[in-house]
Amino acid sequence: MTVDEKRKLELKTMYQIIGIYCHNKHHTPKGQLCEACEQVWEYAEHRIDACPHMESKTFCSVCKTHCYAPNYREKIREIMRYGGPRMLLVSPIQVIRHMYLEWKDKKRG
Ligand SMILES: [Zn+2]
């Protein structure tokens, strides 16, 4: 997997998780984000785009450099905790791939 592919997968996964969270918690229509979640997404998108560790590390969830500001970090953690397991129902192969890459990375590190 190239760095570019990794970045795209991370972005896609993150967007879907925020989407699930927003749809269930804030009752926004599927495929849309409320204003608050849109802000979190834009922030995460920017961080992923700017991440200097994409090349050597796998995903932001396992990265030791916490580049998210504390208030966003808390929010994103909550969203991941909520949406992560639900992603399994929507897109199991993508989640398993993501988890496998995380596991591989943890083992190596
Ligand atoms: Zn929302």
Q: What's the CA-to-centroid distance between 27 and ligand 1, angstroms?
A: 8
Residue 68, CA distances (Å) to 51, 71, 88, 89 in order: 10, 8, 25, 27
Mean per-residue pLDDT, 63-73: 70
Distance in Å, CA 12 to ligand 1 centroid = 17
The mean per-residue pLDDT over the stretch 68-93 comes to: 80
Query: In this model, does residue 105 exceed pLDDT 80?
Result: no
**Exposed, middle or buried, 28 (CB in 10 Å: 0-12/13-18/19+)?**
middle
23/44: higher pLDDT: 23
Q: Is pLDDT of 50 > 60?
A: yes
pLDDT band, very low/low/confident/very high, at 44 (cuts 50, 70, 90): confident
Ligand 1 centroid from CA 94, angstroms: 23
Ligand 1 midpoint to CA 104 (Å): 32
Residue 24 CA, ligand 1 centroid: distance in Å: 8
- What's the pLDDT at 36? 94
As given in the structure block, the two tokens for residue 45 are 């998108």
CA–centroid distance, residue 100 to ligand 1 (Å):
28
